[in-house]
Structure 1
Amino acid sequence: MGYSDAGCYGGEIATPNLDQLAAGGLRFTQFYNTARCWPTRSALVTGYYPQQIRRDGMPGAPRNFGGRGKRPEWAKTIADYLKPAGYRTYHSGKWHIDGEPTKNGFDLSNPTTRGPGFFETTKKKSRDPSYYETIETADFAIECLKEHASEYADKPFFAYVAFRAPHFPLHALPEDIARYRDRYTQGWNVLRKERHERQQELGLDVAELSALEPQVGPPYAFPDQIKQLGSGEVNRPVPWNDLTAEQKEFQAMKMSIHAAMIDRMDREIGRILDQLRSMNAMEETFICFLSDNGASAEIMVRGDGHDPTAAMGSAETYLCLGPGFSSAANTPFRRHKTWVHEGGISTPFIVHWPGGIKAKNEFRSSVAHVIDIAPTILDLAGVKAEVTQGISMSGKSLKQALLKDGAVVHDVLWFYHEGNRALRQGDWKIVYADDVNAGKRGVEKEDIYKVKWSLYDLSTDRAEQQDLSEAELERVKAMVSRWDQLRTKFLSEATQN
């Protein structure tokens, strides 16, 4: 999900429930994830950078780091802490973290996935026509809350509801697609301008609109699979008017499905909120919402394959948003999921807690990160995180940032994913994109000073359009050194049992 997809962040997609949460609470404008799904989820539930706990790679790291890495025993989840403190703990939806939820602090869990797509896998002889994963995710979350209200009303609860939408494949219910069928025929150039204007009207501090990068395609090359998708597919964000009529129709329909998936997710969030209201729990429930990475430029065919004769968005198809409309979803920022430019790591972050936050419909400009969610929840719950083998959570409690705008949470934020690197220090950010080796192991430690790092002043250039590295060479050197110091620290911590 991109930074600008929700209505309260400038999108045209109907997200009334998210918008209502924002109107009754806070919207962070400089909140970050890790650029990829599984590292973000491990950081979210533990409060550590994923590299600290072997859940993503980095230069010099052993090969057992990454998506299949196993956390050290000291890297507990939020649920591991809250359960012994008297909380009932529930998980519904995507997991994508090592281990099983019920062996990592959760009383109840339903991963909900029944196949590679959002409908039951088409390889089954009898497919349940009523199953749609986003609805199932909400159904189980609501079941947990109903059981809680009837059997554990005297206990507090923690619910981790992890919708997979709008991840590829683009699968949506026909009635949801119908609401957006002709919405995107003007293309991504127009949509980006519309969203940027709306962001400015909303008061989001987003600066200028980044330029499209027609040379930047999907982070991984699947030319044979792209051919399966037919001549309507486009793997570069070229100007909309350069496309053929067939390509325009195909691309616009994909964006319609993406929008439909988000629309449905918001509707299901609404059902969960209704359940909280029926329990008289809205006032004292701390709710936060975010995306695990920016919108995706990936194009591939997985799972049960793609039938080009089937209705787009149905179980028999396998479609991905691609770099054109991904650029619009990430308005106004550059690039996409897997990159650590602002488009890959910037997320909407909505916080709603009427009983604890007096502010309503306010923005928060504090620079913060998904690693801060676990320590924030533990702080608000009065639960102390452990310091094991001298290793503390990298995340910080956002309590002061929730109460007042401008609170400084971090001195620096560190980023790495598949060769892409960044460091944010105050308003300054260095970034390096490993486009040549995308998807491969990045250059090793001794080479990080030789590659071309870019430098941006995000106080005036969140869109990362003006590279100041040549004029600020000493600043770049100091920030690169700091990036490497943290890499060394994380590697040392991650190799402890």
Structure 2
Amino acid sequence: MRKLLRPCLAVLSLLASATPALAKDAPRRPNFLIILADDLGFSDIGAFGGEIATPNLDALAARGLKLTGLHTAATCSPTRAMLLTGLDNREAGLGSMAEALTANQRGKPGYEGHLRPDAASLAERLGASGYRTLFSGKWHLGLTPAQDPHARGFQHSFAMLQGSHNHFGRDVSTDPSKIGGFTYRDNGQTLSSLPADFYSSDAFATRLIADLRASKAGVDAKKPFFAYLAFTAPHFPLQAPAETIAKYKGRYDAGYEALRTARLKRQVELGLLDAKTIPHDLDLSVPWASLTRDQKARAARRMEVYAAMVDRLDWNVGRVVQALKDSGEYDDTVILFLADNGAEGSALDDRSIPRVMARYDAADNRLENVGAATSYESIGPGWAEAATAPSWRFKAFETEGGTRVISFLAGPGVKPGISHAYASVADVAPTFLDLAKVPATTPLRGRSWTGLLGGKARTVYPASQPIGAELFGGRSLRQGDWKLLDTGDGVWRLFDLARDPGETRDLAGHEPARKAALLAAYQAYAREVGVVEPDTRQPFLNQPSPRQQPHQGE
């Protein structure tokens, strides 16, 4: 792994020494708010082609720049590490999710399973340069007190530490290592209970609003803020307030193929998708017509609850926006909305994730109870593939469906419109640092979007720059519009995404020289960041078995 990281103390010392000049000489710097949705599909909100009621997100998107080419890691914590550091996920310590580390990865550099102490977070950098910093929601970057958001630069924090939880606040545990329990920390202090009326999206938004108000009224009142609101919706288990679920009764009875067709049509109408695009076929789901009546009823109910979770998330975004308007900070705030990866396509009822089977088996998953606090369900591959269309597959895969996510920015300095340029979640940190006039002091892998946001540039990365990725044995290399892809089965495929964003036509046999060049670039990337491919299949992911033989051509 290249030696591009310096200890955080040195970074913070440099930033702290620059703070007085910034505060004295520079004009007021913008506030920043990151809103992260968990496992949200690309077309799940109205502004991106969906039918779910999301008026608040749609209003933000309408006044902002929609990024149709933003890419993340294929799952949660690697993305979150890249988002906060501007680094490759291995450089930040999350070469794989902590829950998925294999025997040959444990103890290797870049596979610590938590945010490395020498990878400075955006909160640490901005906090040292005069920002007040706030966090509320899912952390998933470490379980110990030293890995808590309160220890990583967030002056105010309310954190759920694990990767998922009961959305109604059940099974609280003060021991974060306990399987099946969920740990919450308030400014670094572990909680033993939650309020009786806890619901994740409501609670996370309420806490952020309270901290924004309190910090603005305190000694830091004149400081700009950096806030990070990390919803756990709509990550499974599918759970939502009954009154919100009721709004979607019967809405999905026509099935996921019909939903997919409607959303693709709407994406074209919105200018998000070229009408000539060939969408990838449903790859991992069974035809709706082949399901029994009971199977259709259960699948439709799951999607109704999922829609309710997205609806409720949007309502809470509206509450946060209104709070910023009430405080007079809205017009000075750059708001970034994005998902952490593609839609979740695992089907819990076919036992695709052994890790959660005990919880699924203990749940009350009667049809009429799905969505309640005692249920435990997911939407499955059919609805997920509808949400990621025209892309291929969904979360946990290096395909476009796993890594291309919904995203937009709004606020000062952002020219409204649509950008189809390739961008990375690792670009967020350098972009915000640029806008805040804060020097990075250490090299970052991401690139600033400032030219793109102001309409002065149409691309972020030069067509010659290779950008690699690997997770769970799936591998990819992007260079310009070309993508080399191994889904995890050991077969390298080649796609021209400019002409084939759905990854439907493998050109590896037609472009052997290009394939070889991109493969060499991937191998260079893997050496640079220290990729350690898993030697066994992850026990809780619906992924292909690991390759046992050397790859042809390597």
* TM-score, structure 1 normalization: 0.86
- Residues 160-200 of structure 1: CA distance to partner in whole angstroms, max 9, x if unpaired? 10001000100111011111111000000000000000000
2:230 paired residue among 158, 162, 172: 162
Q: Could you say if the C-alpha distance between residues 195 and 491 of structure 1 is closer, same or farther in structure 2, counting changes exceeding 3 Å?
A: same
Residue 477 of structure 2 aligns to a residue in which SS? strand
Specify the code of the residue in structure 1 equivalent to 2:207: F
> Which residue of 286, 291, 302 corresponds with 1:254?
302
Q: Secondary structure at the match of 1:179?
A: helix
Stretch of structure 1 that moved more, 108-117 or 88-97? 108-117
**1:84 to partner: Cα distance:** 1.2
Which one of 453, 459, 478 corresponds to residue 402 of structure 1?
453
SS of 1:191's equivalent?
Answer: helix
Does 1:378 find its partner at 2:416?
no
Q: What residue is the counterpart of 1:330 in the other structure?
A: 388
Q: Which of 183, 208, 216 is matched with 2:277 structurally?
A: 208
Within 5 Å, which residues of 2 pair with 1:13-412? 13-57=52-96, 62-64=105-107, 69-98=113-142, 99-112=147-160, 116-121=165-170, 129-151=196-218, 152-206=220-274, 208-214=277-283, 216=284, 237-300=285-348, 301=356, 303=359, 305-309=362-366, 311-353=369-411, 355-357=412-414, 359-360=415-416, 362-387=417-442, 392-404=443-455, 406-410=458-462, 411-412=465-466
Cα distance in 1 for residues equivalent to 2:460 and 2:399: 22
Q: Are 2:42 and 2:405, in contact at CA under 8 Å, matched by a contact in 1?
A: yes
Letter in structure 2 aligned against 1:308: N
Corresponding letter in the other structure for 2:461: V
Query: What is the distance in 1 between the residues matched to 2:112 and 2:510?
Result: 41
Question: SS at 1:73's partner residue?
Answer: coil
Tell me if the contact between 2:470 and 2:531 (Cα under 8 Å) persists in the aligned partners.
Answer: no
Q: Distance in 1 between matches of 2:343 and 2:199?
A: 21
Amino acid at match of 1:205: L
Equivalent residue number for residue 488 of structure 1? 527
387, 409, 424: which is aligned to 2:478? Answer: 424
Alignment check: 8 A CA contact 1:366 1:408 kept = yes
Partner of 1:422, secondary structure, is: strand
Aligned partner of residue 91 in structure 1, secondary structure? strand
Give distance in 2, aligned partners of 1:326 and 1:209: 18
* Residue 127 (structure 1) shift: 8.3
Partner of 1:429, secondary structure, is: strand
Structure 1 residue 406: Cα displacement: 1.5
Aligned equivalents of 2:223 and 2:57: distance in 1?
27
- Shift in CA distance, 42/186, structure 1 to aligned 2, threshold 3 Å: same
State the Cα RMSD in Å: 2.4
- 1:441 is matched with none
3-state SS in 2 of match to 1:53: coil
After superposition, give the CA deviation of every residue in 1:34-54 in whole Å (9 maximum; x if it has no partner).
Answer: 010000001100010111222
- 1:240-278 deviations in Å (ceiling 9; x for gaps): 111111111100111111111011001000000000001
- 3-state SS of 2:468 partner: strand
Deviations 1:305-348 (A, max 9, x none): 31133611001110011101111111221101000111000111
Please give the TM-score of this superposition, normalised by the length of structure 2.
0.77
- Distance apart, 1:4 and its partner CA: 0.7
Aligned partners of 1:68 and 1:210: how far apart in 2? Answer: 38
SS at match of 1:255: helix
Q: Which amino acid aligns with 2:394?
A: H
1:471 aligned residue: 510
Residue 123 of structure 1, CA deviation = 8.3
Residues 358-408 of structure 1: per-residue CA shift (max 9 Å, x gap): x23x00122101000011111111111122xxxx21111110111125123
Aligned residue for 2:294, secondary structure, equals helix
Alpha-carbon distance between aligned partners in 2 of 1:198 and 1:158, rounded to the nearest angstrom = 34
Maintained 8 Å contact 2:448/2:460? no
Q: In the aligned structure 1, how far is the partner of 2:124 from the partner of 2:229?
A: 16
CA distance in 1: counterparts of 2:492 and 2:329, whole angstroms: 48
CA distance in 2, matches of 1:266, 1:349: 14
- The answer on whether the counterparts of 1:54 and 1:64 sit within 8 Å (CA) in structure 2 is no
Q: Distance in 2 between matches of 1:253 and 1:492?
A: 41
Distance in 2 of aligned mates of 1:6 and 1:384:
35
- Once residues 453 and 477 of structure 2 are traced to their aligned partners in structure 1, the CA distance between those partners, rounded to angstroms, is 24
Query: In structure 1, what is the Cα distance between the partners aligned to 2:112 and 2:205?
Result: 27
- Contact 1:413 1:424 (C-alpha < 8 Å) held by counterparts: yes
**SS in structure 2 opposite 1:160?**
strand
Gaps of 5+ in 1: 217-236, 436-450
Please list every run of 5 or more consecutive structure 2 residues that lacks an aligned counterpart in the other structure.
1-39, 174-191, 349-355, 533-554
Per-residue CA deviation, residues 134-158 of structure 1 (Å, 9 max, x unaligned), is 1000001100111122123211111
**Separation in 2, partners of 1:488, 1:269:** 41
The residue type paired with residue 178 of structure 1 is A
State how far apart, in whole Å, the 2-side matches of 1:158 and 1:327 are. 34
Indicate how the Cα distance of structure 1 residues 267 and 209 shifts in structure 2: closer, same or farther if over 3 A, else same: farther
Contact 1:196–1:209 (8 Å) recurs in 2? no
Which amino acid in the other structure matches residue 311 of structure 1?
A: N
Give, as a single letter, the amino acid of the residue that structure 1 aligns with 2:377.
Answer: L
SS at match of 1:332: coil
Alignment check: 8 A CA contact 1:112 1:133 kept: no
Aligned residue-pair number: 450
Please list the CA deviations of residues 274-312 of structure 1 after superposition, one character each: whole Å capped at 9, or x if unmatched: 000011111111110100010011133454731133611
Query: Is contact 1:209–1:331 with CA below 8 Å preserved after alignment?
Result: no
Change (3 A) 1:61 1:82: farther
d(CA) in 2 for partners of 1:382 and 1:162?
25
**After superposition, what is the alpha-carbon deviation per residue over 1:51-72, rounded to whole angstroms, capped at 9, x for unaligned?**
1222124999742357752444
Query: What residue identity is the alignment partner of 1:148?
Result: S
Amino acid in the other structure paired with 1:365: H
